[in-house]
Structure 1
Amino acid sequence: MSNRVNIIYWSGTGNTELMAKSIYDGSKGSENVKLLSVENASLDDVKEADILFLGCSSMGNEELEETEMEPFMESISNDISGKKIILFGSYGWGDGEWMQDWEERVKKCGGILVEQSIICNEGPSSEDIENLTSLGKKYTLSVEAKQVN
């Protein structure tokens, strides 16, 4: 398996996309990091990643977006066992229950949540952007350090 950090997201209003780009910005353009909207992502992008960031905003009754992200999650559910995963996303109403449900789903599929999920009510604050950028930097550095050893 190659040493990769892949960031795969769905965004309706641009808030979750901004979150994804903030993670990517933290990588400072490392060639080991890939930023993909979910419609351009494949199972191979999941399989090749050592660290997988998945982002989606809450839709409807606190659910994952149903036409692209939900089918993608269904398609990768058998391939995330043992995979290190970090979830992120934004919401406009409710209390973030969709993220708790998503975390449970990932765990039931054998995914390993290596960080607390990051959720933002509406757009990310400057503090959220800083935290996301730091995560991008942290996991890019850990992957690059792994390659040296």
Structure 2
Amino acid sequence: MKNMTIIYWSATGNTEAMALALEEGAKKAGVSVKLLEVGNASKEEVLKADAVALGCPSMGAEELEEEEMEPFIASLEVENLKGKPMLLFGSYDWGDGQWMREWTERMTKLGVLLMEDGLIIQNTPDEDGLNKCREIGEKFASI
């Protein structure tokens, strides 16, 4: 892999911290990384990247953030993403990860190659959680 794009949405900074740790791990593996908030991202950046990590916390009744991330994900559903290496990640406060299971299923139907079943961390990632993100970022960049 030569380049990876990480696109995320974060209200409290928890998912952003995860994105930064993933970036750190991927860079350690020698990969060029583009880190973008979803409002500054385009689907072309997803299509051009060798691999993509998408991050969004659980919102409302365990769903994706609906103003920016949901429309962005919906825009990807019309593209050919078959075989695209992808990682989904995000933080949550309540619930049991239902939003991530649904998001994973949704992206799997598009034919992406998902790494993990979705990386989730409850609330603010502690150092162990950030280390897990770094390790997964490095592992993901090495595929």
Same fold (TM over 0.5): yes
CA deviation after TM superposition for structure 1 residue 43, in Å: 1.2
Deviations 1:48-86 (A, max 9, x none): 111110100011110000000000000011322221111
Unaligned runs of 5+ in 1: 144-149
Q: Give the distance between the partners of 2:140 and 2:101, measured in 1 at CA.
A: 23
Pair 1:77 & 2:77 matched: yes
2:110 corresponds to which residue? 109
Question: Between Structure 1 and Structure 2, how many residues are aligned?
Answer: 141
Following TM superposition, the consecutive aligned residue runs of length 4 or more in structure 1 with deviations greater than 6 angstroms are none
Instruction: Name which of structure 1's ranges 12-21 and 107-116 shifts more when overlaid on structure 2.
Output: 107-116
TM-score relative to the length of structure 1? 0.87
Maintained 8 Å contact 1:5/1:139: no
Q: How far is the alpha carbon of 1:135 from its aligned partner?
A: 2.0
Aligned identity (percent) is 48
Specify the code of the residue in structure 2 equivalent to 1:19.
Answer: M
* Aligned twin of 2:47: 47
**2:2 alignment partner in structure 1:** 3
Structure 2 length-normalised TM: 0.90
Q: Report the structure number with the largest CA radius of gyration.
A: 1
Corresponding residue for residue 16 of structure 2 = 17
Query: Alpha-carbon deviations, 1:17-42, whole Å to 9, x = none?
Result: 00000011123475621111100110
Are 1:23 and 1:133, in contact at CA under 8 Å, matched by a contact in 2? yes
For residues 97-149 of structure 1, give each alpha carbon's deviation from its aligned partner in whole angstroms, at most 9, with x where no partner exists: 00000000001111111223110111112211111111222333x27xxxxxx
2:115 partner letter: V
CA distance in 2, matches of 1:134, 1:41: 25
> Using the alignment, how far apart are the partners of 1:43 and 1:104 within structure 2?
20
115-124 vs 97-106, which deviates more? 115-124
Unaligned runs of 5+ in 2: none
The answer for the alignment partner of 2:68 in structure 1 is: 68
